[in-house]
A = this chain, B = another copy of it.
Amino acid sequence: MSNILDTKSIDLSAMRHSCSHVLAQAVLQMFPDAKLGIGPTIDNGFYYDFELPRTLIPEDLPLIEKRMSHIVKQNQRFVSKNEPTAKSITFLKKINQPYKVDLAQELKKTGEKEISFYENVMQDGKVVFVDMCKGPHISSTSEIGPFKLTHLAAAYWRGDEKNAQLQRIYGTCFATREELEAHLKNLEEAKRRDHRKLGKELDLFTFSDLVGPGLPLWMPNGAVIAEELETLAKEEEFRAGYVRVRTPHLTKGELYEKSGHLKHYKASMYPPMKIDNEEYYVKPMNCPHHHMIYSARPKSYRDLPLRLAEYGTCYRFEDSGALFGLMRVRSLQMNDAHIYCTEEQFEEEFLAVVRMYLKYFEIFGITQYVMRLSLHDPSGLGEKYVDEPELWKKTENMVKKAIQHAKVPVVEVLDEAAFYGPKIDVEVWSAIGREFTLATNQVDFAVPKRMGLTYVNKDGQEKAPLVIHRAPLGTHERFIGFLIEHFGGAFPVWLAPVQIRIVPVSDQFASFAEELRLKFFDAGLRVEVDSAAESVSKKIRNAEMMKIPYMLVVGEREQKEDTLTVRNYATKTQDVFTFDAFLGKVMKEVKGRVLS
């Protein structure tokens, strides 16, 4: 855990920020007329936007890097300086930096009296570069660690396509050469593992212009993974005492008026279908539907905790610019459930949910994770958050206490709660160190009350239950997107779309291959024979391209001796088994959901 959080520490950030100033200085050396945009730090690096007399090409980057190295060696000091706003604007105009003028005038409007600058000062005291900047910076360019410019991109000034288009240069910078190299290697690996690229190569999912953006269609190979994840979730949820429900994907708007979602959530929803003087919506979440199931029959304390689970598909109208492969979509098939419980039951239920998270992490080999506890900001009460200051306090304390007992890594953030209560996002890191927000866990003290959900307690009084919203496997879309990268497309046997591929060395062994296939198939395995009119070596390459866990090349020896020569994709080894021994091994791996 700790080393990952460390890389976000302020020192690295200051160093990267200083590196972006060095980049800007280098670009100004090459193009004295360059106009500077902004140059912030980002995860693992920095960028800077420029207006330049010509379009940069990748070959420019090493030349810029060379100039940057030179600046680093000059050991320039970073010196902070505040100037009155009006004077600053005059200065920025003078040095012909219109974008900086734009920023300064913005600050003037908000009433800023002074503007902060950082100068780069040579050892002899000469100022060679100055940028409008709040800092912080490191003290001298010589403290900058190993860096690399990674790629170019286009960017609009202030992200608005009505503004001028600038050229963006991305770079990365680390404290040590080893870290930089590991990062660059991870970047390469991330490209190879890109879920959009592998999704296509492995035939997992597709998009259709006729169906619409952000609405993935799961091909047979991808549907296998979704199916296996659902089976896992259903098994675990059955064991944990959940019951399942099924609810329609549509509802009248009235339901969301009553739940309060229309007020707080409408911007993220598909627009209504209007018919018979009613407005119908596709559901952006399952909770109000589940609440209708809860309230369909009177409840007593004996009925609680009630855990209603559904792999419900929800629809959210994400901005088309925000859509990204499976990671940002408009259809979300969620591993959803709502736990209705009393206050006394809350902690136990919450901890059981955390245990379920941990079990899944183990199954998928996720070793790095953190819980991000989002709390409300009292200034948003009545607007962004339901106006119940006392209940917010009480519930947040209850959640904090429960998390402490769960003994899992946690960070707290303000003003990111759900409108009805505190939210716990679970962030995980993939095998190559990329961060994903996978699962959510929310505590809702407001909507159940609002919708009139009750139970009769031991003393015969009507009370509103608490509701825990939880989705440990998140959505199929995002979780499978994560798994593709995490496993680099080489899924463990139980998840692999095709578990075994049989390659007969010639047509002569086609019927033997088919016999074998049927034996595996009858055991419930996903197995296929490659009977294409291609060479054996081509077929072997194809099976490897598809990252199929086990490949059996079968010919005379296999047929005569009743043995199997098995190529293992994960270990890159080849072993000889009897049929029964191999089937036993595979079945054990599948049933045990063993990681390869």
Interface residues of A (CB under 8 A from B): 203, 206, 208-212, 215-220, 222-224, 226-227, 234, 238, 243-252, 254-255, 258, 270-276, 278, 280, 282, 288-289, 292-293, 296-297, 302, 308, 310, 313, 315, 317, 320, 330-331, 333, 476, 524, 531-532
Are B208 and A296 in contact, CB atoms less than 8 angstroms apart? yes
Given known A247-B218, A249-B249, contact A317–B223 (CB-CB < 8 A): no
Are A249 and B315 in contact, CB atoms less than 8 angstroms apart? yes
Chain B residues with CB below 8 A from A270, complex form:
250, 273, 275, 280
Secondary structure at chain A's binding surface: helix, strand, loop or mixed? mixed
- Apart from A217-B293, A220-B308: 7 A-B pairs, beta carbons within 8 A: A208-B296, A210-B292, A212-B250, A215-B250, A217-B245, A222-B246, A271-B275
Chain B residues with CB below 8 A from A308, complex form:
220
Residue of B nearest to A329 (CB): B248
Most buried by B among A226, A246, A250, A292: A246
Chain B residues with CB below 8 A from A244, complex form:
220, 223-224, 227
Are A210 and B254 in contact, CB atoms less than 8 angstroms apart? yes
Q: How far is the CB of A206 from chain B (nearest CB, A)?
A: 4
Chain B residues with CB below 8 A from A320, complex form:
276
Residue of B nearest to A308 (CB): B220
Contact partner of A217 among B246, B271, B330, CB < 8 A? B246
Are B273 and A245 in contact, CB atoms less than 8 angstroms apart? no
Are A203 and B297 in contact, CB atoms less than 8 angstroms apart? yes
Q: How far is the CB of A490 from chain B (nearest CB, A)?
A: 21
Contact partner of A211 among B215, B255, B524, CB < 8 A? B255
Chain B residues with CB below 8 A from A245, complex form:
217-220, 223
Residue of B nearest to A226 (CB): B246
User: Please, could you name 29 A-B residue pairs with CB atoms under 8 Å apart, sorted by A?
Assistant: A206-B296, A208-B255, A209-B254, A210-B254, A210-B258, A210-B288, A211-B250, A211-B251, A211-B252, A211-B289, A212-B248, A212-B250, A212-B278, A212-B280, A215-B251, A216-B248, A217-B246, A217-B247, A217-B292, A219-B296, A220-B243, A223-B244, A224-B244, A227-B234, A227-B244, A249-B249, A250-B315, A270-B280, A302-B531
Chain B residues with CB below 8 A from A249, complex form:
249, 282, 313, 315, 331
Given known A244-B224, A246-B226, A273-B270, contact A211–B292 (CB-CB < 8 A): yes
